[in-house]
Structure 1
Amino acid sequence: MTVRAVQVIAGADVIAYHSARHGRSIARSIAAEHLRADHIEEALIYPVTTESTDHPGGYRGALDEFYESAAARLAVHLDAGRTVAVISEGDPLFYGSYQHMHKRLAHRYPTEVIPGVTSVSAAAARLGKPLAEADEVLTILPGTLPEEELTARLASTDTAVVMKLGRTFPTVRRAMERSGRLPEAHYVERATMTGERTEKLADIDAETVPYFSVSVVPSRIADLPPSTGTSTETATGTGTGTGTGTSTGTATAGEPSGPGEVVVVGTGPAGPLWLTPESRGALAAAEDLVGYTTYLDRVPLRPGQRRHASDNKVESERAELALDLARRGRKVAVVSGGDPGIFAMATAVLEVASQDPYRAIPVRVLPGVTAANAAAARAGAPLGHDYAVISLSDRLKPWEVIAERLHAAAGADLALALYNPGSRSRTWQVGKARELLLEHRAPDTPVILARDIGGPEESVRTVHLADLDPHQVDMRTLLIVGSSQTQAVRRDNGTEVVWTPRRYPEG
């Protein structure tokens, strides 16, 4: 208890506290030595402690009625001029029962809230493990959340505390396991009180878990050696497997922490807003990050991680480096833009992983938001019906193949998402594609030019196919070409939306 809390209790006329029907109150037991015989005690006894009730308003209705009644009882004392101290375990406004009194009384009477030590802080102190360090993000979760939500949030955060275990423990444990956080998770019961227990969460019997317990996933940084920092290496050279380039980033720092693996992660088209929780968690858990420099720059720096940056034309070499690191027991994330399986790094990694000596190395591919879907969402819904995705880059396939596919897709009246339309060295492909598409599409077919979607220079424009200017297209632009059914409509607020109806005219 804080000094201020002791002072307030000493000066109060009435001491109020919440308890279950058995009448025992943890808050009262903590403050017991400071209570006087002349204190008026108000035990606010919950009518229900589970969601099973025959109240006509259900569990929420029963509690609302109780809080109204409890507030009215305290208001009688306040109207009589008595000072009321409502004692609450932990902090009164942190998942505390007092907050329901506060909502009903604070606007009517002078009120002071005395902060307390939360179970979160107490649990970390008893474990002797920092909750968060440097730029780590701490997430506090109620165990009552659905399992899928718990799993996603545990996967995406650096450190976490899950409150309100008890009956929720099996769900919380499954979420910890599914998110990959179970090995890091600790269990703390009744921190700083009689009956305190601390163990690894994986070792806990669900039948023994009370409500007043928490799970803690502490700081990863705290477990690193004091001298461990973040290093960056540039991949440029000679690997030992199937690649033709080379990698100077063959890291050997520290002993492997367990079996190695490669996770191919899609960062979306730009920035953290496009990153899935699963991908965010994989990037945080990796010991090594391998990727094109531009994509690595999107990932926050974390102490203890090594970065292996390279040019955007050495996919096989990056894949080989990542698999070599994993073969040494490292946990490696290969960072890719957009979705790693669409014109990106998943194919390169799996191609190398299918050859000796990498066949036994675990490889996972995590999906990301691809540029076509991001651009389509900005414009409206131009890909609302069948569509095709084609790269105009002839660096890895001949133009004749691209032209044949454009003819086939356009002839089938598919909307088109065109990746890699142009660059400094490829200046004529957009013009040729426009000519080819005009053989199948009307001149006024909507074409969306989506540039730097999600980035600081984002722009989305719609032009007619006949007016598509190749000089306005670069490598950071994605083109979406509508089908014969695609509509471009200007709405009352002046914005234009492009959409392709899901119904197709009958033949």
Structure 2
Amino acid sequence: MTGTLYGIGLGPGDPELLTLKAHRILQTVPVIAYPAPDGAPSLARSIAAPHLPGGQVELPIGLCMAVERAPGQGGYDAAAPEIAAHLQAGRDVAVLCEGDPFFYGSFLHLFARLGADFATEIVPGVSSVMAAAACARRPLVVRNDRFAVLPATLPDEALRAGIEAAESVAILKLGRHFARVKRLIAEMGLTNGALYAERVTQAGEQVRPLAETGDTAPYFALILLYKGREPAILGHDR
């Protein structure tokens, strides 16, 4: 029998936000794989570290964080056969993923390469969006509010349309797009309803009004924007 491929959602950074199921699998699985972008220390592994028993085979997945799609796929192309070899030998493999595996998660790329050939189980994780709302102590949506999740990589026209179509919006993947997105929100007259969150639940966490930020932001930052009329949310806006 072949092994099982697990996509393990680790949450946004706090090791205590793992599910009990994720913890159980990490304690027993013989092989773990995790992204290690551009040779830097792996955030995913650092989140899981307190829950690892030691002695497991570890497979770092070297990733090139490029804007274009093709260069970033090389790490997955190289990792997939190595993971497949362990699965074919009957060894379970847990792929560690920040946040949730199926919410802009790196595991998606391995699932596309291996999911059809091996038994696969997805363990959901807390997303950065939900964690940011909790850290900011501001609800995301209530009653009939519409909620949109938009990547900052979209052009201005698409971002504007997405913001206009919902009462509550989360804009992710800020990084080098932050100044442009911040300017667009100001042009739409929505700055006062926007919060900025950076590295939520991690060391260096910052949550503050968008109006109080500069023009730079890391990749692991997001904006929560509310333009609805629900007092249950507006009453907690600070």
State TM-score, norm by structure 2.
0.86
**Are residues 1:203 and 2:220 paired?**
no
Q: Which residue of 1 aligns with 2:89?
A: 80
**Structure 1 residues 376-415: Cα deviation after superposition (integer angstroms, max 9, x where no partner):** xxxxxxxxxxxxxxxxxxxxxxxxxxxxxxxxxxxxxxxx
Q: Which residue of 2 aligns with 1:122?
A: 131
Shift of 1:180: 2.3
Alpha-carbon distance in 2 for matches of 1:175, 1:154: 10
Matched residue of 1:120: which SS?
helix
Cα 1:223/1:94, change in 2 over 3 Å = closer
Alpha-carbon distance in 2 for matches of 1:144, 1:98: 20
Q: Which residue of 2 aligns with 1:237?
A: none
Alpha-carbon distance in 2 for matches of 1:175, 1:45: 34
Alpha-carbon distance in 2 for matches of 1:24, 1:140: 28
**Structure 1 residues 51-105: Cα deviation after superposition (integer angstroms, max 9, x where no partner):** 3xxxxxxx32222333221111211111111110001010000000001001111
Shift of 1:223: 4.1
1:20-99 paired onto structure 2 within 5 Å: 20-46=37-63, 48-51=64-67, 59-99=68-108
Alpha-carbon distance in 2 for matches of 1:11, 1:149: 44
1:284-433 paired onto structure 2 within 5 Å: none
Q: 108, 120, 134: which is aligned to 2:117? A: 108
Cα 1:224/1:17, change in 2 over 3 Å = closer
Q: 219, 222, 231: which is aligned to 1:214? A: 222
Unmatched 5+ stretches in structure 2: 1-17
Alpha-carbon distance in 2 for matches of 1:134, 1:191: 26
Shift of 1:212: 0.4
Shift of 1:171: 1.6
Unmatched 5+ stretches in structure 1: 52-58, 226-507
Shift of 1:224: 5.1
Alpha-carbon distance in 1 for matches of 2:69, 2:132: 30
Matched residue of 1:171: which SS?
helix
Q: 185, 188, 204: which is aligned to 2:194? A: 185
Alpha-carbon distance in 1 for matches of 2:180, 2:44: 28
Matched residue of 1:131: which SS?
coil
Alpha-carbon distance in 1 for matches of 2:234, 2:87: 54
Identity among equivalent positions (%) equals: 39
Q: Which residue of 2 aligns with 1:248?
A: none
The aligned amino acid for 1:49 is: M
Matched residue of 2:120: which SS?
coil
Q: 16, 29, 38: which is aligned to 1:12? A: 29
The aligned amino acid for 1:30 is: I
The aligned amino acid for 2:44 is: A
Higher-RCO chain (CA-CA 8 Å, sequence separation at least 6):
2
Q: Which residue of 1 aligns with 2:157?
A: 148
Q: 122, 133, 147: which is aligned to 1:138? A: 147
Q: Is the 8 A contact 1:148 1:175 kept in 2?
A: no
1:454-493 paired onto structure 2 within 5 Å: none
Alpha-carbon distance in 2 for matches of 1:156, 1:176: 14
Q: Which residue of 2 aligns with 1:165?
A: 174
CA RMSD in angstroms comes to 1.6
Alpha-carbon distance in 1 for matches of 2:62, 2:73: 13
**Structure 1 residues 231-280: Cα deviation after superposition (integer angstroms, max 9, x where no partner):** xxxxxxxxxxxxxxxxxxxxxxxxxxxxxxxxxxxxxxxxxxxxxxxxxx
May I ask how many residue pairs the two structures share in their alignment? 217
Q: Is the 8 A contact 1:151 1:178 kept in 2?
A: no
Q: Is the 8 A contact 2:33 2:61 kept in 1?
A: yes
State TM-score, norm by structure 1.
0.41
Alpha-carbon distance in 2 for matches of 1:213, 1:45: 22
Shift of 1:110: 0.7
Cα 1:112/1:223, change in 2 over 3 Å = closer
Q: Which residue of 2 aligns with 1:441?
A: none
Shift of 1:49: 1.4
**Which structure's residues are more often helix, by fraction?**
2
Shift of 1:220: 4.1
